[in-house]
Each structure stands twice: as structure tokens, then as C-alpha cells.
Structure 1
Amino acid sequence: MASPTPPAARRARTLLAATVGGLLLSPAAFAAEGMWTLDNLPKAQLQQQFQFSPDQNWIDHAMQSSVRLAGGCSGSFVSPDGLVLTNAHCVVGCVQGLSSPQRDLQNDGFVADARGEELQCPAEELNVLRGITDVSARIAKAAEGKQGQAYVEARNAEKGRIESECVGSDEAKTRCDVVELYNGGQQHLYRYHRYSDVRLVFTPEYSVGFFGGDPDNFNFPRYNLDAALLRAYEDGKPANVEHHFTLKPEGAEAGELVMVTGHPGRTQRQLTVAQLETVRDVSLINNLLWLSERRAMLGQYGRIGEEATRQAQSDLTFTDNSYKVFRGQLQALLDPQVFAGKRAEEARLREGVDAAPWNEVEAAQVVARQLAVPYMLLEQGRAFDSRLFGIARVLLRGGTERAKPNDARLPEFQEAGQGRLRQTLMSSAPVYPEFEIAKLTWSLTKFRELLGTDDPLVKSVLGTQSPAQVAKALVEGSKLADVAERERLWAGGAAAVEASDDPFIRVARTIDAAARAVRQRQESEVSSIESRAATQIAKVRFDKLGTTVYPDATFTLRLSYGDVAGWEENGKSIEPFTTMAGVFARNTGAEPYALPQRWLDAQSRIAGDTRFNFVSTNDIIGGNSGSPVINRDAQVIGLAFDGNIHSLGGSFWYDPTLNRTVSVHSAAIIESLKSVYGADALVGELLQK
């Protein structure tokens, strides 16, 4: 008998077959592929495959019931009183910001028994999409005839004007973002309703929301209650929302049409081969090396004691997760058959058209590779792995940039985004000095290692001291952990920041010119070239395929469709469902398979055959975490929280035979709230019609 075909080879064959067939990875190639904008849904395919064609009322309802967590996740309204369903791992920042050594909400869980007990998150923001406008022509006109930095500045200025006009005087409740689609082929203005008063209603114990930890991450079967509830408030009261999904307690069934409405972060399916080579050879390698060492540093810090473990817990979780994602992506791009498929796909797209755009992108990759490390260390700030440094940089640049006309500022400091920027800057989440020192010591060590001891900037920062000495002096000498000090400096602008002797502000000032310089080179010599070329490549794609191709993910609202189904691997059938009895069978009492006492006490009350997690063929990526899984009646039947191991290549393509979305079943959410947490009021709110 022939041995089973390895998954990577099967993916490569699927990709190559699509290319040879001349399909250019169009939707017809893959049954459920695509992260579709809601103004361009594949209605014909939905009708053909599932006999479902959503009308405009259904689309508008889905759009305004879906929620974006500005920090990088998705969610949905599930009651008229602003109740929002999302993942537990999406509210970690809120929960940690509300926790203390005396009240560890992260590990003990939290349930608000009444509205008055709901806790305001330090810096959470929710966005609900209200409208989409094509502004491509306006931005193209502003940048016409310009190149390099002039092109970047013209586009940024026009985007700033468009966003500011959209926000107007309603900064508190409106957010507007100009979004590039098709890698710059289109620019759309997304207008959101903004909720800045967000309160925690429910989160499970860490050991339940992350049951199985890193060993089970991106695997299946899974047994996770990765679910949490927030509530949007306006004017001090629960928000009254017109559109919300209802929860179907029976949940998803095998073979059922399921749709995910959420905000996938970023895919790279439309990059050129030259760009993918840079991703493979530079970006992923750098990220993996960085994350692997950061993971070791965080683990070492956490072994100091119980409180250190708590402080590092979420950082370590997300570092582990990111490492696994990037490792999977690198493994995918190292498969020679996959790259052969990508080359064949690009060759077919380039057939009969001017090759100049692709050649320009390829030439720009030389500079991209040169700038990768200094850009990572300086402009991305990885050399200064400290929340206090991030605060100092915002204060320093904010003082400088806010003194300029709005259209001359760096995009992140333009008026349209001031509400979110200030809310994050003034977060009351605690700062832990010893943890900051540990992270900063490590990152300053990497700074010296990667740029060299004799680098002038390294000398300016470290002087004659060690990274540990500098980190200790910076953290212990700073006042930026005090929100009142941040308020004073922000309100005082450039003059107040210039007069400050805070050591973190001094360091931010020391490296600012070099960081801005590397950013300018990245924008003028790489990004602007890629963006102009992408516009031309997108036109070729539109000419050959029209709008039957979905754009790469951009952390904007998308719909993915598929069905509830397991998969076949190495001669074994992976069933689509797990049950709540399974989590008790998997419990060992030792991390990461240790259930909390509250769950052990509730075992006799839980219906063991209740479905817990399930998989479906939906095409999702990071950012979709917390997305509702809905049926054709717009009822929530699940909550997306992960993908299987095969989905890690999803940044570059989708394989329907193996890629799966992993979700919490709605029945498990209701059963847990009722039988474990005694949250009858929340169950009633979730089930009201």
C-alpha cells in the first residue's frame, strides 16, 4: 500500500492543480474559500452550493450586529442591551488590567451578577461598521505623478483629510479608517460607531478558557470555553442597540451552512513571489528568532514566583501562540511545491501584460531586506520591550506631531484617531516594575547584539553600563506609570515633553531621529513602490477576474462561509464535535490539563453529551477570534476561537480538504453559564427573543 500523502504535499498539489487549470486561485477553485467584504458577497456561489442568497436586509443586520474589538479581535452584539460575545483570550488585556495580586480575575474568573457589578475595562474600544465608501479616485488624484516620499506624504495627507471629514466633531462616538484593499488597488472609507466605555461581564478561569495550553493550540479535538461577555455602555448606561444576533442554544449541526462575520487581521495571498521570498527568508526568520528567545525570557521570569507567573501569563500565552503561527507559516513557505505553485500562479497572471510592476517590487526587496532589522528594533520598538517606553514614544511624538497641520502629521497622530490613541495612552492598567525591568534588560541585550557594541546608537543608549543596569535605572527613575503624569505631559504638548527629565522620554528622544529615518526609507523606498505596483497588478487582476476575487484581509469586516465538517488525515477520520464529558476525561489535574475546582464541583450538574467545540470549513485568520458563527437565520450557533494546525498556512492560501476553523458550540456556552457559573440572568438575556 502507498503511504499516506503528507498534508503539505496535498496542499501543494491542490494549489498546483488550481494554477494549471488557469483558475488563478479564484473562488471557483475552492468551495468555501474567501474572506468576503459585505458589499461584495459571492451570492451566486452561496445559492449554488447552499441554496442561500442573503438579501440586503440580512446583510445590513449582520453588518451592524458584528463588532470589532479595536485591540485586534472580533465579537458580536447578542442582546439589545449592548451585550457582546467574544473570546476569553480577546479580553485578557482588560482582565489583567482589572486584576491584582489580591484579586486575580484572570485565573479565578469573573461573573457580574448584576449590571452594577460590571467592571469598566481600562482601554477597550468596540467598533460597529455603519458604512463603506469608495474613495479610490480621490486618493489616486492626490498622489498622481508623485513618487517616493512625496507619494507617501500625499496619500497620507489625503487619507487624513478624508478620515477627519468623516469623523467631524463626533470623535467620541465615530471612528473612520481609510482601508487599502487588493494591496492598494482600491481604497475604501470605513465609518464605525465607536464605544469607548466597555465593561467586563463574564470571563472563565484561565485554565478553562485556555484548557490544553500550547500543546492543544491549533489542534483538534479541543475542549475550551474560550468565551467571554462584555457590555457596551453609552452615557453611563448599557447601550441600546438596534441590531443584535440571537443565540440558538441547540447550536451547530453536521453539514450545516455556517457563516463567520468577523475582522480577519492580515493575509498575504496576493503578494508577489518576490515579496513572499522576503517574508520567508527575512520576516518569518527574524520573528521566530525573536519570539523563541522572548518565550524563554518570559518563562524564566515566571519561575521567580506565583506573582511573577501571573504578571507574565498573558504575554507568554500570546508569545507562544505567535511563535506557533509563524513556525507554521515558515514550514508552508519552505515547501518547494507550494512555491512552485505560487510561481506558476504569478506567471499566468503576468501573461500578456507589462512586467514592470513585478520587476519594481522585486527591486524594492533588496532595500526591504537591508532595513528589516533596524526597522524592527527602532521603529517597531522591539529594542525597548517595555510598556513605559511605548508611553514615552507616544508622548514625545505626540507633542511634535500635534503641533503640525493635521495633513502633515504621521498617520497615527492625525485628528481622526485621537480618541483611541488617548484612551490607550491613559489606560489605568497596572505597570509592574520588576516585569518591565526583565523585559527591557532582555531587549536591550538583543539591541546591542543585533546592531553591535560599537554602533553609535547602542553607545548612546547604553553608555558604559550593562543592559540590566540601564533597564533598572530607566524603570525605577520613570514617573510614566502614573496616569496623572501622562495627562500632564499630553496636555502640555511639545513644551512639557521637552522640559521633562523622565529617563524613558530621554531614551525615546535619543533614538527618534534614527527611527524616523529608517521609517522614511521603508516608506519611500519599499512601501510606496509596492503600493504603486500593487495598484497596477490589481488592475490586471480585475481585468482578468473582475471582482470575483476577494481582497486580502485588512482587519475589516468580512464574511466567510462553509459547513460543519471534520476531515480525513493519515487514514483517520477527525470527527467535527467534542462533548463536555470529554473535558473531564482529559483532565489530569496538572497544567495545562487541570480543571479549576469550580468545574470539578459542577461535573454532576453538567450534561456530558453537550457539544463543546466543533470544526467547520470556514476560511478565517488571526483577528477572527471572537467572531460569531451564524446560520442562515442569523442565529449564533458557535464562537470562533482558533484554527487547526493546517490552517497556519492560511495566510498564503486556503485548502478545503484540511483547513478548519475551531469554535465553541453555543450549547456549551449556555450549559457552562447555567450549570457551572449559576449565571441565570445572563442565560436569560442571551436566550431572549
Structure 2
Amino acid sequence: MPSRRVRALLLAAIALPTAAAAEEGMWTFDNFPIPAANAALDTRIDQAWLDRVRLASVRLGGASGGLVSGEGLILTNEHVASRCVEDLSTPERNFVASGFTPASRSEERRCPGMVAEILTDISDVTDRVQAAGRGLEGEAFTRARDAEISRIESEACGGDSSRRCQVVPLYRGGQFKLYAYRRYADVRLAFAPEHRASAFGGDLDNFSFPRFAVDAAFVRIYENDRPAATPVHFRWNPAPPREGEPVLLSGSPGATQRLLTQDQLRTVADLILPLEQLLNSELRGRLIQFGAASEQNAFIAGQALSSVENGYKRGYGRQQALVDRAFMERRAAAEADFRRRVAADPALARDIGDPWAELAEVQDEVRRLHPAYYLLEIRAGGGSRLFGWAEDLVRGAQEREKPNAERLPEYGDARLPQVETSLLAERPAYPALDEVQLAWWLSKLREILTVDDPRVRAVLGEESPEALARRLAHNTRLGDLAFRRSLWEGGLAAVSASDDPLIRFLLRIQEVTRSTRSEYEARVEAPTERAGEKLARARFAVYGTSLYPDATGTLRLTYGRIEGWTHQGRTIPHATTFAGLWDRATGAPPFDLAPRLAAARDRIPAETVLDVAASTDTIGGSSGSPAVNAAGEIIGANFDSTVLTQRNAYGYDPAVNRSVLVTTAAITAALRHAYSMDHLLEELRVVER
């Protein structure tokens, strides 16, 4: 899902207002509980340690990575780099199947559209943002806040494309922080194994443990066509993690929903999750059918299918949490305790009123408006790359005509470099795949909103979903980078004059999509944010400000230990080895070994620790997060969690919550024995033993 739409999901995440378990919390770097972490882990973390970890941590789009050399080298996951690998591949030269193993740094290739960001500063802008919306309601409230946020971001970063400034809401509007990043738009692929190595076991093993995956890749940031100087970086430790060893993960988790009221959570259970699961299951089927038609189709649909399968399995795990009686009773008890504490303070109760009742009232509007908003804004285009380009061209042209403070937030001056980098990246287009995605989206739009909905008629016109999708996907010229560039640089005049069918289509549906968005913002987002601000004020009054906030796609630090767990009488050990990989391999997909790993079977020590489980608190977006030991050395990279851990959206459960990490020991062995990446090992200063 495009990052600019994540905000529109609106059910913002909030930390549970009760005492956290030792490992619980996705902590901001300006509010990390140093004494509590040291007490739980028996470590000696201090502020200097935190600063080094922050400056060595990298945000890569909606995922994470860690600097591991002084020359811009970043460790992340193969599945994080997979879009780059796919974009650099062709059916004739398929790096997805063969891996990308350059013989030297000079052969590293630029990842189209990939941006790396390092957090340099956090500052508080709460008073400015809250003052902008004071006394306003509905759309006026939303627009006033958006305008002030755009002003703050523009003032902080201006037109400097080497920086990114982002105002982040925390504690559901209780705080607003300005996050400033050093931005690198030249990111090059330095190594990726075969996709089969990182995704061994396929969808069957996904979100599970034991795992046997070498889900690791390296990218490098460049500046002025030279590797960027990165003196602050993690030292590579190739030793295998030990059971019980402290571990900290520094990454950018996407979103949690840990203090949805019980009324809000019922809406998630009754409407939001079922709709997402229904749609994802059908799209998954269509993509599987498309990929089965030919090897070329399987190649071009791989990334899209993987994304949908992840979303579906993540949703399944969350649904399991919503029917777990004990888990839900703990949530209900936490809310009841919070309400009792507020009621016990008459002055506080008078100050905030009854935000729980306000949020309960909003749920009727969510149920009425969410399906159309979800289909016309959040999932518009069905994931089609061509549609996404057209939307940025049309809305970008329209919004740039307005003063910065009056634009949609995603097209403010401070955010335009992100839009432009993505739009003008030299990526391949596959109209046959776009046709599948567009036809799915249009058919679901008609089915769920119904044939007689005027918005459906405005979108489809006189055409069927299939005919319209075919015409748009195969007749547009947006796959041509030069054509996209001419429209972007030509602005509204060029876009309005274009006869490209996809551009004409986006121009035609703007009234429908924009009005749907405006109504949702006015009737759902604004009152939800107003009530959320009151709850945050009460939370600070009752529990203080030492709680962790919701995950928001910004840099966080979480801590725990390397450890397995026991569930329903079954004990799962903390680690897997290459011996387990060889044993699990059957030769038949998805349990077939990657060719280069198979060829190195006699060279890789069978006892080498491959993957480990950790009690750290993570969620989607944490992929690629550097796993760091107490000395600040990197010992692995987070790449997954378990199905049971998907309840992490709503609350941390220490009994079953586990992150899954690929170890530096496994990566080192693979680089040395399977892929002959000696120049990377030398850069990592790994001495062969």
C-alpha cells in the first residue's frame, strides 16, 4: 500500500496504558527507557549508545536496514530489496532466480526509486499543530492541521532534496514531533541471493518458525556518484547468537492499534479486517492464475503475489487475536481500568468529557463510509504501477497549482522529492499485470458498492471492468519514462491536454475520489482525531509520559532476548541451522534449495546457526531491522515474525510474540561459501577462521 495512504486508514495506534512487559514497546529514540532496559537485559546502554544506533539505522521506504561499513553499505532483507532485484531483471536475465552477485563495487546497480533515510533530529511541534485545529470541526479541522504540518515541514527542509522533514503524530494527537532525515536518493544493489534462498518454504513457511531462510541483501548509498561516507555504522559480529542473549532491534515499524477503544476494535473485527481478507483472497487467486499461464507471467507477478500473500496471512493472524478470549479480556480490562482512573479525577473527567462515547458514535460513520473510501482511495488501482504513476501525475499537477498550505499533504513541498523520485524512476512496466490488477479493483468496486451507486457509474462509464482495464493498461504510454517526465515537468497544462487514456481516466474520476476522501476526513478522521487528542491528554494525566506511543513508520527501538517459546504443549527452540535446512529440503517447490546454496552444501558447516527467534516487539515495517547486541554490534536482521505475533497490532503478548532474525553467522557463511562475495567480506572485516 502506498505510504501516503497509510494515514488514511485512520485507526491510529496507541500504546497500552498499563505497565508493559519487559520486552514490550516500540520506543522512540527520544523517550527510550534506558534504566528499564538495562535492568531487564543486564546491559549498560547509555545515550551515546542510543545515538550511535540511531545514526547507523536506515529507513528504506516502508522497511529498515543498518549501516555496516564506513562506505555506505547497508544490510537489509532480500524481500526488502526484491522490488529492486525485480526491476533490474528481465525474463532473459533474471536476478530473482539467479541472485545478484557483482564481482566488485563498480558493478553495483542503482535501485529505481529506492530512497534511504537516516534520522538526524527529533523536535517537538505539538503546540503549533494543536493550536491550528483549536475550535474547528470536520473538514476545517483536518485542513487547518494539514496546512500547519505542511508549513512546518517546508520551513524545516525547504527545497533541500538531501533532507526529508516529516511531522509525526504520536499518542493519537497527544504529541506531534518533527522528524528530520538525511536523505539518499542514489541507492545501489550490492548483493542479493536467489529469491528461493530467502523465501525457502514459500507461503507455507511464511510467518512461522522454525524458519530456514537466508533473507538478507546488501544495498549501498551513494553521494555525488561515490559511496557515501558513513563513519557511524554497526560493527559486523559473525558469531552466532546464544540462547538468552540480549538483543535490540532498531527499525521503522509501520502501524499498531493498541489503544483502539473496544467500540473501534469491534469495527475492525466486523468490517475492516473481513473486507481486507475478502479482497486479498480474490486478488491472490487472480495473481496465481495469471502467473500459472507462463514463466514470464510468473516472473512479472512475483512481487505483487508475495505482497498480497503477506497481507492475507497477516490479516489471518490478526483475526485469530480477535477471537482469543483471554487476549481480548486483557484489552477490555485495560480500558476499564483507564476509565475508572479518569472518573476518579473529577477535574480531569470534566476537562476531557466522554471521548469513548464520541468514538462510539463515529463508528456508525465508519461502517457507512469505509468501504467506498477503502476502494476509491486506499486500494484505488488495485496495486497497478501504471495507475499509481497516473495518479501522481494528475493529483501532483493539480495540487502544485495551489499554495503549499492548501494542498493534499502528500504533495506538500517537503514531500514532493519523494513523489518525484518514485514517479521518475526507470522501472519496467508490465501492462498484462496491470490489466489483472485494474480489472480486479474495478470488479470489486462494482460488486461491493453495487451497480447503481453513482460513484461506480462515474468510474466505469459504459464499459465493463474487464474492458476498461484492458483499454487503460494496454493503451497508456506511461510506461515510457520520457513521457512521464514530460507530463510532470509540463504541469497541469500538459496533463490536462494529454490524450493518454489512463491520464484522461484519472482526470475523470477526481471528483468522485476527492469527494469520497473529503467526506471521510470530515465525518471520520476529524472527530476521531479530536477524541483521540482528549484520550491522550487523559492518558498523560493518569499514567505520565513514560509510555511508548503507537508505531507510525518512524524509527523505533525494541528490546528482548533470543529465545523460543511453548504454545499448546509444543516447545519451539530458539534457533535453526543449515543442517535443518538440508533436512527440510525435499527438492519439490516450495522446499527446493536455491541452486547456489545446494552447490555449497558440503562447504557450509551444517551446525551454522541460520535463523533465530527473539522476544522483541515488532510488526510490519520492521523487516530489515538491524539486530544489535549489548555492545552495539550487529548480529542479524529481522525478517519475519509468527502468525501468532500478528496480534501485535492490538497488543504485545510475551507468551507467543516472537520476531524471526537471520543471523550474521548465516549471512557470512553464505557470502563466503555459496556466493563468493569476498570483497564484501573484506569490507565487513570478517576474517576467515
Equivalent positions of 1:72-471 (< 5 A) are 72-170=62-160, 172-351=161-340, 352=343, 353=349, 354-382=352-380, 384-471=382-469
For the 8 Å contact 2:458–2:512, the answer to whether it is kept is no
Of 679-688 and 285-294, more deviation after overlay is shown by 679-688
Secondary structure at the residue paired with 1:111? coil
Equivalent positions of 1:658-677 (< 5 A) are 658-677=656-675
One-letter amino acid of the structure 2 residue matched with residue 666 of structure 1: T
Of 382-391 and 574-583, more deviation after overlay is shown by 382-391
C-alpha deviation, 1:36, in angstroms = 0.7
Secondary structure at the residue paired with 1:454? coil
The question of 1:68 aligning with 2:59 is answered: yes
One-letter amino acid of the structure 2 residue matched with residue 327 of structure 1: Y
C-alpha deviation, 1:540, in angstroms = 1.1
C-alpha deviation, 1:384, in angstroms = 5.0
For the 8 Å contact 1:383–1:446, the answer to whether it is kept is no
The CA deviation string for residues 654-684 of structure 1, in whole angstroms up to 9 with x for no partner, is 1112111110011001000000001111011
Identity of aligned residues (%): 43
One-letter amino acid of the structure 2 residue matched with residue 202 of structure 1: F
Q: What residue is the counterpart of 1:3 in the other structure?
A: none
- What is the CA–CA distance in structure 2 between the aligned matches of 1:606 and 1:119, rounded to whole Å? 28
For the 8 Å contact 1:565–1:575, the answer to whether it is kept is yes
- What is the CA–CA distance in structure 2 between the aligned matches of 1:25 and 1:166, rounded to whole Å? 32
Of 313-322 and 196-205, more deviation after overlay is shown by 313-322
One-letter amino acid of the structure 2 residue matched with residue 198 of structure 1: V
Q: What residue is the counterpart of 1:18 in the other structure?
A: none
The CA deviation string for residues 132-161 of structure 1, in whole angstroms up to 9 with x for no partner, is 000001111222211111111111111001
Q: What residue is the counterpart of 2:10 in the other structure?
A: none
Secondary structure at the residue paired with 2:655? coil
After superposition, the Cα gap between the structure-2 partners of 1:258 and 1:401, relative to the gap in structure 1 and judged at 3 Å, is same
CA RMSD for the aligned pairs? 1.5
C-alpha deviation, 1:38, in angstroms = 1.0
C-alpha deviation, 1:211, in angstroms = 0.5
Secondary structure at the residue paired with 1:547? coil
Secondary structure at the residue paired with 1:261? strand
For the 8 Å contact 1:378–1:511, the answer to whether it is kept is no
Of 269-278 and 354-363, more deviation after overlay is shown by 354-363
- What is the CA–CA distance in structure 2 between the aligned matches of 1:129 and 1:52, rounded to whole Å? 24
Q: What residue is the counterpart of 1:8 in the other structure?
A: none
| Structure 2: tracts of 5 or more residues without a match | 1-14, 344-348
One-letter amino acid of the structure 1 residue matched with residue 45 of structure 2: P
The question of 1:48 aligning with 2:39 is answered: yes
After superposition, the Cα gap between the structure-2 partners of 1:249 and 1:298, relative to the gap in structure 1 and judged at 3 Å, is same
| Structure 1: tracts of 5 or more residues without a match | 1-23
C-alpha deviation, 1:26, in angstroms = 5.4
Q: What residue is the counterpart of 2:568 in the other structure?
A: 570
C-alpha deviation, 1:45, in angstroms = 1.3
- What is the CA–CA distance in structure 2 between the aligned matches of 1:75 and 1:633, rounded to whole Å? 18
C-alpha deviation, 1:383, in angstroms = 5.2
TM-score, with structure 1 as normaliser: 0.94
Q: What residue is the counterpart of 2:28 in the other structure?
A: 37
After superposition, the Cα gap between the structure-2 partners of 1:529 and 1:559, relative to the gap in structure 1 and judged at 3 Å, is same
TM-score, with structure 2 as normaliser: 0.94
- What is the CA–CA distance in structure 1 between the aligned matches of 2:499 and 2:240, rounded to whole Å? 58
Q: What residue is the counterpart of 1:13 in the other structure?
A: none
For the 8 Å contact 1:248–1:635, the answer to whether it is kept is yes
For the 8 Å contact 1:78–1:246, the answer to whether it is kept is yes
- What is the CA–CA distance in structure 2 between the aligned matches of 1:108 and 1:245, rounded to whole Å? 29
One-letter amino acid of the structure 2 residue matched with residue 207 of structure 1: R
One-letter amino acid of the structure 2 residue matched with residue 368 of structure 1: V
C-alpha deviation, 1:368, in angstroms = 1.1
Secondary structure at the residue paired with 2:654? coil
For the 8 Å contact 1:383–1:447, the answer to whether it is kept is no
The CA deviation string for residues 362-389 of structure 1, in whole angstroms up to 9 with x for no partner, is 1111111111111112122435542212
Secondary structure at the residue paired with 2:415? helix
- What is the CA–CA distance in structure 2 between the aligned matches of 1:505 and 1:394, rounded to whole Å? 10
The CA deviation string for residues 86-109 of structure 1, in whole angstroms up to 9 with x for no partner, is 000001111111111111111111
For the 8 Å contact 1:564–1:616, the answer to whether it is kept is yes
Equivalent positions of 1:477-556 (< 5 A) are 477-556=475-554
C-alpha deviation, 1:582, in angstroms = 1.3
For the 8 Å contact 2:17–2:334, the answer to whether it is kept is no
One-letter amino acid of the structure 2 residue matched with residue 530 of structure 1: T
- What is the CA–CA distance in structure 2 between the aligned matches of 1:85 and 1:385, rounded to whole Å? 27
The CA deviation string for residues 32-63 of structure 1, in whole angstroms up to 9 with x for no partner, is 11111111111221232223242221111010
The CA deviation string for residues 147-199 of structure 1, in whole angstroms up to 9 with x for no partner, is 111111111111001101111242x2100000001111100000000000000
Secondary structure at the residue paired with 1:36? coil
One-letter amino acid of the structure 2 residue matched with residue 176 of structure 1: C
Count of residue correspondences:
664
Of 511-520 and 375-384, more deviation after overlay is shown by 375-384
